[in-house]
Amino acid sequence: MSTLKGFYGVLKSYDRYLRFLFLTGVTKFSKVSVFSELNHLDDLTLDPCYADLCGITQEELERDFCLVIDNILEETGRNREEYMENLRQYYNGYRFSKKPLKVYNPFGLLNHFKKNGDFEPYWYETGTPSFLVKLITEQKINIVNLSNMQIRHEDFRKYDVENMKAEPVLYQSGYLTITDYDDNRNRYTLDFPNIEVRSSLTTSLLQQYLQVPDDRSRALIFRLPDSLEDGDIEGAIEAIRQYMAGVPYDIIKETENYYETAVFLMFKMFGLNCRSELRIADGRIDTLVETKNFVYCFEFKIDKTADEALAQIDTKEYMLPWTGSGKKMFKVGVNFDSEKRNIGDWKYAAVLPE
């Protein structure tokens, strides 16, 4: 901190020569006097005038990169509409103000073009966020809430170097971004910005949370998402069972929330549309997964029965909001056995689309 303070002090002493100075990568800490040497610094973090300063807008993408996009489409034979949608899902999503303007990550996007259209986590691979994973773990942040984190405007100003809070640091570092703003409550909703960050960060969290060897993780890479995309619930459950079999016995916590979080991270790791602890009119769904053609409603129990889990789905009418969606729906009851430290029994029931 003393190094930063000295740096800012030198800048301030030369302010008569400065007309404009822009600093990036700056986090403001409240209990240290780092910024006292540069007390006229304006924080642009949530300023709507600069919401598109550090990213590439959709308009800029289509206007300034049309030639490189055309070349990639010609060489790869991809469909333009599908390709543009994949670009948006993989590298877009960053929002830096109350204004609903989203921008692309320039580093990821430009490297994607440089690599002739390969979709890879270029920005994430520049550094593993071991500090953030440790911070989330130490503060016992509910991992399933990373997809729908609610914070107030004043929470963005809480940067205490001795007692860091995970929420503003996750936003400042780019692992979460603004997805919604409630003007009446002055409340922001944070979520993963795109597939690149969501899949990569949840993979790191899953490795920290379950400590499964890489060879078992690789075995899950295609089987779980492919099974859910194909409506193969038996294949999906077997993939989860095999993965859980590799978790060291001494780190397993015999709680329903532990297993729910583990399964949630597996789903998120593959970019699946997954929501946990989803509130509806008559209760809270443990985990809901939607694919192109299917909806899966998971209810988890520990040391009970799969029948009890299915009965709860029916009693609370968890599937009712998705009736009429045109998708085939699955009710899935899963019971974890604390002695086996894995799935005990499970059952499912299919609900045909109306």
Inter-residue contact 154 to 142 (CB < 8 Å):
no
Q: Which pLDDT score is estimated for 353?
A: 60
Average pLDDT over residues 219-237: 87
- The 10s digit of each residue's pLDDT in 116-125 is 999 999 998 8
- Whether residue 99 contacts residue 48, with contact meaning beta carbons closer than 8 Å, is answered with yes
Nearest to 252 by CA among 242, 244, 240: 244
Q: What is the pLDDT of residues 255-309, one digit of tens each?
A: 888 888 888 888 887 778 888 888 888 889 999 999 999 999 999 999 999 999 9
- Quick one: pLDDT band at residue 214, thresholds 50, 70, 90? low
The mean pLDDT of 8-27, rounded to a whole number, is: 76
Strand residues in the chain grouped as ranges (E): 149-152, 177-182, 187-191, 273-280, 283-290, 294-302, 328-337, 342-351
Give me the pLDDT at residue 201, please: 87
Average pLDDT over all residues of the chain: 85
pLDDT value for 40:
62
pLDDT of amino acid 294: 94
Scored b (16 or more CB within 10 A) or e, 283-307 reads eebbbbbbbeebbbbbbbbbebebe
Q: Residue 34 has what pLDDT?
A: 52
User: What pLDDT does 181 receive?
Assistant: 93
C-alpha to C-alpha distance for 195 and 70, rounded to whole angstroms? 23
Task: Give the CB-side neighbour count of residue 185, counting CA atoms within 13 A.
Answer: 9
Whole-angstrom distance, CA of residue 243 vs CA of residue 258: 15
CB 307 within 8 A of CB 333: yes
- For the whole model, what pTM was predicted? 0.77
When pLDDT is cut at 50, 70 and 90, the band that residue 31 belongs to is: very low
Does position 79 have pLDDT exceeding 70, yes or no?
A: yes
Count of positions (residues) in the chain: 354
Of the pLDDT bands very low, low, confident and very high (cuts 50, 70, 90), residue 219 is low
What count of other Cβ atoms lies within 10 Å of the Cβ of residue 251? 10
Which carries the bigger pLDDT value, residue 115 or residue 199?
115
In the prediction, which pLDDT does 328 show?
A: 92
In contact, 332 and 232? CB cutoff 8 Å? no
How far apart, in whole angstroms, are the C-alpha atoms of residue 283 and residue 281?
A: 6
State the greatest distance between any 2 C-alpha atoms of the chain, in Å, as a whole number: 75
Instruction: State yes or no: pLDDT of 347 exceeds 60.
Output: yes
Tell me the torsion sign for CA atoms 251, 140, 46, 148: positive
User: pLDDT value at position 32?
Assistant: 47
* Average pLDDT for 67-74: 97
CB environment 192-217: b (16+ within 10 A), e (fewer)? bbbbbbbbbbbbbbbbebbebeeeeb
Residue 240 or residue 15, greater confidence: 240
Tens of pLDDT, residues 82-138: 999 999 999 999 999 998 999 999 999 999 999 999 999 999 888 777 777 777 777
Contact status, residue 174 vs residue 132, Cβ threshold 8 Å? no
- pLDDT at position 90 is 95
Domains with residue ranges and CATH for the chain: 2-43 (no CATH), 49-124 (no CATH), 127-191 (no CATH), 212-351 (3.40.1350)
